[in-house]
Amino acid sequence: MPEFVDILNAIVLFSNFVLVPAISYGAQLALGALGITLVYGILRFSNFAHGDLMAFGTMTVILVTWGFQSIGISFGPLPTALLALPFGIMGAIALSLMFDKTVYKFYRAKKSAPVIFVIVSTGVMFMTNAIVRFIIGPSDQRFMDGTKFIFRPREFKEFTGLSEGLALKSTQVLTLTVTIMCVAALFYFLQKTRTGKAMRAFSDNKDLALLSGINPDRVVSYHLDSCCRPSHHRWHFVWLR
**Mind listing the pLDDT tens digit for each residue in 35-88?**
888 888 777 778 889 999 999 999 999 999 999 989 988 887 888 888 999 999
Predicted confidence at residue 166, as pLDDT, reads 92
Find the mean pLDDT for residues 134-146. Answer: 81
Dihedral over Cα of 131, 136, 141, 142: its sign: negative
Amino acid letter, residue 148: K
Q: Is 111 left (phi over 0), alpha (psi -120 to 50) or beta?
A: left
Q: What is the mean pLDDT of the chain?
A: 82
Q: Which of 109-123, 124-138, 225-239 has the highest mean pLDDT?
A: 124-138
This prediction has a pTM of 0.77
Count CB atoms within 10 A of the CB of residue 78: 15
Count CB atoms within 10 A of the CB of residue 69: 16
Predicted confidence at residue 74, as pLDDT, reads 84
Predicted confidence at residue 21, as pLDDT, reads 93
Bridge-partner residues for 107, per DSSP?
none
**Mind listing the pLDDT tens digit for each residue in 158-216?**
898 888 999 998 888 988 998 999 889 888 888 888 877 777 777 777 666 666 666 66
